[in-house]
Structure 1
Amino acid sequence: MDKQERMNTLLDLIDEEYLTKEFYIRYFEEIYKDERKKSLTRTAMEAFDTLSEAFDVILNDENYKVIYHRCKELKEILENVILEYFEEREDHALNEVFTPAEIKEINEDKEFFSAFDEYKQDIFKDLFHKEPKKIYDVAKKYLLDDEKHMSLSEEDIIMEMVKVFDDEYVIGQLAEKFTHIIDNHTKYILEVDEENDEDLTGQADSILMPIGQFDINDYFDIYPFLYEYTGERISLLGDEEGNGEISYWGTYEEYFQNILRDMILGNLGRVFEELNNNRHSDYTILMDRLRIETKDYLNVQKILKESQVLYYELNEFEEGIWTKFAESSAEDLYRKGKKGS
């Protein structure tokens, strides 16, 4: 195989259709990740005709400083999709395609990879010249089509969790904790700022005053109870200089939400374990698409971070259970807790 044949072989290893699809999907996933946080990124990007134009303006215009760091990160992520693909193809050629003798000749020829590098730059120009809105729409279609042909989808995982998740059992567990609090915990109010004659906020530098035990007769439904203070001081650390440090008095809303979330995540973890054990091939395909390494196949937080679908659907599922709990009659919940305990 002469030099030109080797070069043609190397260039033939580049699958432009595959790379374009990967590039589009990665853009969609990153933008979708921002969308669920109500970010301005997608709106800003789609105001331009090309990715290149969008990044040129956004990264150099003070008017876009609120999304500067996110867009800089997005640009680097997309560049790496291309760079890593070309590096992987080059490694594949040197390790599995060319013979040791050919590799020796390639290493001695400083100009050998010039055409390969030019091809890479052409791909860069082509993909970054695409329209942001079109990339998003096409990638969304790619993913929907992939889901139709997958034997295990993210929606299937949610359905599996719904099957094993017993709403009444969970509400019963929360009811028992509610009943225990009513019967055994102290009720607090925030101290009044006598100088201004105004109630202080829930900041932890204010003082909680105990006012006796809870009385179930004070609550028609549970919603007002959720704003009562637990008496626990919550401290969130800031940076090394102390910037951003927050302390406040915890409420039962936060307390019960954390319990519910832990129960849901625990159920999801058991679903992952079940699928990994009994549908390992299908589960592996799905995890590969989500770019989850084998060591993280049961890492709930890692998987939720990479799967926008699971993250969104799980939040919706949690919100449904929470609404059912928060709208419960206090007396009914109290009786249910008494019965369960």
Structure 2
Amino acid sequence: MSSHTVLRHTTRDSWKNIQTFVEPRPIVGKHEVLIKVRSVSLNYRDVAIATSQYPFPVKDNVVPGSDAAGDIVEVGEGVTGFAKGDKVVAAFDPATLYGPMKTWQTGLGGPTDGVLREYITIPAQSVVKIPESSTLSYAQWASVICTGVTAWNALYGNVALKPGQTVLFQGTGGVSITGLVLAKAAGATTIITSSSDEKLAYVKEKYGVDHVINYKKAPDWAAEAQKITGGQGVDFILENGGSGTMKQSLEAIAYGGIISCIGFLSLASQDEMPDVALLALGKGAVVRGIMVGSKEMLENTVRFIGKQNLQIPVEKVFKFGRDDVIKALDFMTGGQHIGKICIDF
């Protein structure tokens, strides 16, 4: 029986304790495809899982990573529509084909084994073909799965973004920059926040963001957003901070706007918790939790990116292997990146 290399968390007190194993190569089921992984895109979720900070279920000895692009090397006997050699991406949650996710129990790299391994079997119904005409790298396509679909869900999963509306992105990580690329392509006015003038200048030059706010120099960034919009407020906010930034998000949002809760990077103390219910009521605003998205959303995101020939931002690529994966997660936690960090095989 053929074998392959697999990375696993045997303990979850640090990503530095990830271990390498040689295990039997998975056997493809009747309705599955066997994928040779070519690139994996990392997320802050991977750090949270490695350090026991992830607030949702994680299995023991989990294979980390949720976002993989690769080549089909074998198809199950009951599979139609896919063939050996197809370039594909796999959905974050293979069990959610459409509609909202119903549970956190089926996502890759947490409650089930993930993609930091050479081969993986996935139900064929949970796989999306990469457009044949695409010139994007495997790393770029892998970067669409979690961050791209999360951003798509934020912009289209409730009320669809319209050209001319304003979107504010917190920070310069993967979700924000990928969302910025999607929103610009859809004709939106964009605002991004950061504590670094250097990062803001780079994003303005590289990705064409319309407005920037340095929240260190302008701690009341909600007031700055209101000024930019002429007092109307922003229509969409991709809220990466959590409870620590929610009060200002509710101050910056337009009447009837949508705040999509994505991250928990900035937590408020109990006595500083905003009255979200009252503040949202006062604006008629929607505060919506984002659980990545369905396979249908992945299809829509892939189709949009392929049709528009959008360049998905990848900051740095490391090689597959225990030491390089540790270096990649070290780099991620350093917080200096703009865009995605990937592992190529």
Which structure: greater strand fraction? Answer: 2
Place the TM-score, normalised by the shorter chain, in its bin.
Answer: under 0.3
Query: What TM-score, normalized to structure 1?
Result: 0.20
Which structure: greater helix fraction? Answer: 1
